[in-house]
Chains A and B, each alone.
Chain A
C-alpha cells in the first residue's frame, strides 16, 4: 500500500520541483532519471509483493466507494511498469544525448506520474484527471525542440487529443448519470441493468477517445505528422508509453466496464483492426525515411491489438495485452535508432525489425504466437496476420537497406553515449524473446484479472 502510494507521490512531487529547474544542467537531468528509476522500482516492488495484484488503498481512509480508490491489479501494473520503463529508457537516451529545453526532465517525470496514476486508479473521474495530466505533459513534449516542424506537429497533436479527452469526459458524465457510481469495480455490474441505447453511446464515446490516443485507422490522421515531426526520443515516448493509455483503456473499459457492449461490437472492432493493419502496412512499405515508416507501422501494429480485443475471452485479451507490451518495446527501440549510426546500431535496428515482423528470437515472435493462438479458428484472420507480418518484414528491411547498408559521405558514427540506450533496449527485446515466461505469465494474469471470476 505504501509502495503504491510512493509510485504516485515520487514522480508527482519530484516532477513539480524539477519542472521549475533548468533541465539542461546535468544534475537536474540526472535527478529526473533517478526519480523515474525510483518510480519504476516502486512499481516492480508492488508487482513482486502481490503477483496477482489486488493491492488497493483509498485516500483519506474513507470507505471504498466514498474516497478516491487506487488499486493495482495485474493489468494495471503490467502497463504501468511497461510505460514507465520505456519512458525511462527514452528519457535516459535524451539526457545522454544532451537535453535541449529546460523543462524536458521535469515534464517527463510528470508524465510518469500521470501514467502510473491512469494505470493504478480504480475511480473513473480520477482516471480522467490523470489522463489529462499525462496528456498535458505529452502536449509539451510534442513541441520539444521548438523547430517549426515540431510546433506544427504539436498543435495537431494537442488539438486532436484535447477533443478526444472531452469526448471521454462526456462518456464519464454519462456513466455517472446511468450507474450513479464512479467505482470502476462496481460499474461493470451496474451497467448490466442500464438502458442499452445509453450504454452503447457511452461505449462509442470511450472507443473514440482511446482510438484517437492509439491512432487506430479512422482516427490515425494526426499520427504521421506528429511522429515524424518530433525528436526520436519524443516519438519513442509518445508511441512507447503514451499510446499505452489507449490500449489499456480499450482493455479496461471494454473488458471490465462494458463487456456486453464489447461483445456486441466485436465484429466492428475486428473490421477496424483489419483496416488499420492493411492501411498501416501498405503505407509503411511506400515510405523512404525511418521515422515515416515507423509512424505508419505504428498504425498497423495497434490493429493487431484491436483484433485480439475483438476476439475477446482470456485468450484474446491475453494476446492483446502481450502484443501491446511487445509493440511498445519495439517502437521505443526503433524510434530511438532513427537518427544515430555506428557500430551495433544496425544490429539494434535489425532486432527491432525482426520483432515487429514476429521472427524468433526477438520478443515480437511471442506476441505473434499468442495472436495466432487466439485467431487460429478463423482462416481469414490467420491469412491477414501472415500478410501483415510479411509486409512488415518488407518495410523494415527496406529501411534497413536504405539507412544502414549504404555509407553516406557525411556519416559520422554517433558517440557511445548516444548508442548506449538503443543497444540496451535491443538486448531487452532479445531477452524477452528468449525467455518469455515472466511476461507471458504476467499477461495471462492480467487477462484473468480482466475477465474476472
Chain B
C-alpha cells in the first residue's frame, strides 16, 4: 500500500515535471496542476496507510488520521486558486504577445534586449563624441 502510494505520487510528479518543461504555456499550467496532485496524494498517503478513512469508524478497526485529509482539502483549494491565477496570467500573456509558445516569447524578449543594448551603445558613443 505504502509502496503503491509512493509510486503513484512519483509518477504524478514526473509527469508534471515533464509537462512543465514543455514550450506550450497551457501544457505548463497542466504540469503545475499534476505536480500539485502529487503533493496532495502524498498528504493523504501520509495517514491513510494507517487505517480506513475516518468517516465511519467501526469498533476494533484502525482508523486513519483525519487531520491529513483536512490538510489535503486545504491544499486542493489552494492549488485550484493558484491554477486559476496561472491560467489568467497565461491568457494575459497570450493576448499581449499573441502567442502561447514559450520560444516565441523568448524571441520577443531577446529582440527587445537587443534594441535596448543598441540604444545604450549609441548614447554612449554620442556622449564620448561630445566629450571629445
Contacts and interface: CB of A to CB of B under 8 A. Distances in A.
A91 B49 CA distance: 48
B53 interface: no
B92 A173 contact: no
Contacts of A146: 92
Nearest to A176: B46
B46 A173 contact: yes
A129 B96 CA distance: 32
A125 to B, nearest CB: 5
A151 B112 CA distance: 14
Chain B interface helix/strand/loop/mixed: helix
A169 B71 CA distance: 10
B85 A152 contact: no
Given A125-B74, A166-B35, A176-B68, A151 B46 contact: no
A96 to B, nearest CB: 27
Given A152-B109, A163-B20, A166-B35, A136 B42 contact: no
Given A143-B92, A151-B92, A177-B46, A166 B39 contact: yes
Contact of B127 (A129, A136, A149, A406): A406
A146 B89 CA distance: 10
Contacts of A176: 43, 46-47, 67-68, 71
Contacts of A129: 74, 78
Given A125-B74, A146-B92, A173-B68, A166 B36 contact: yes
Interface in B51-86: 65, 67-68, 71, 74-75, 78-79, 81-82, 85-86
A158 B31 CA distance: 13
Interface residues on B, range: 35 or more
B89 A139 contact: yes
B92 A158 contact: no
Contacts of B89: 139, 143, 151, 154-155, 158
Contacts of B25: 155
Q: Looking at A125, A140, A159, A172, which has the most chain B CB atoms within 10 Å of its CB?
A: A159
Contacts of A21: none
Contacts of B90: 155
Chain A interface helix/strand/loop/mixed: helix
A174 interface: yes
Nearest to B92: A151
A151 B86 contact: no
A103 interface: no
A114 B32 CA distance: 22
A159 B36 contact: no
A143 B75 CA distance: 24
12 contacts: A132-B82, A136-B81, A146-B92, A151-B97, A152-B97, A152-B109, A154-B89, A155-B90, A169-B42, A170-B38, A173-B46, A173-B68
Interface of A: 125, 128-129, 132, 136, 139-140, 143, 146, 148-149, 151-152, 154-155, 158-159, 162-163, 166, 169-170, 172-174, 176-177, 180, 182, 225, 288-289, 406
